[in-house]
Structure 1
């Protein structure tokens, strides 16, 4: 593992056990590479065990309020408030 001896090894191992961090597809973590905003958002969501929000009334609201090209973007977004 590429975290052996790294100052963050304990934290990475703990967060891996809690399934908050997953590493890269090649099995490495690259602990010295900066975390992207998307990775940070995913880790935050996993740490709070949040699920995407689906609004039951969103389709009818969007069909009246949003211009046609924007409708599918809003309706198909896991959380319309986040884009």
Structure 2
């Protein structure tokens, strides 16, 4: 598991996979003890910053972030909020 990517810390609960030099897949265990990690989000860098597509069982929500650290924080917060809502 990566601890950081180009100087950006990766939250412990997330696995960060570079797909290209501008796109990443973020995985993790949305449900502790469920076994294999889920794909939680995709992040893509564009001219305006970072687009974050949060995946939630059957639908997706897109948000924007100005840096990679903020994009990862959105994913980590989404996972924690999802767990606390159960």
TM-score for both structures, normalised by structure 1? 0.24
Structure whose residues are more often strand by fraction: 2
Whose radius of gyration is greater, 1 or 2? 1
Structure whose residues are more often helix by fraction: 1
TM-score for both structures, normalised by structure 2? 0.23
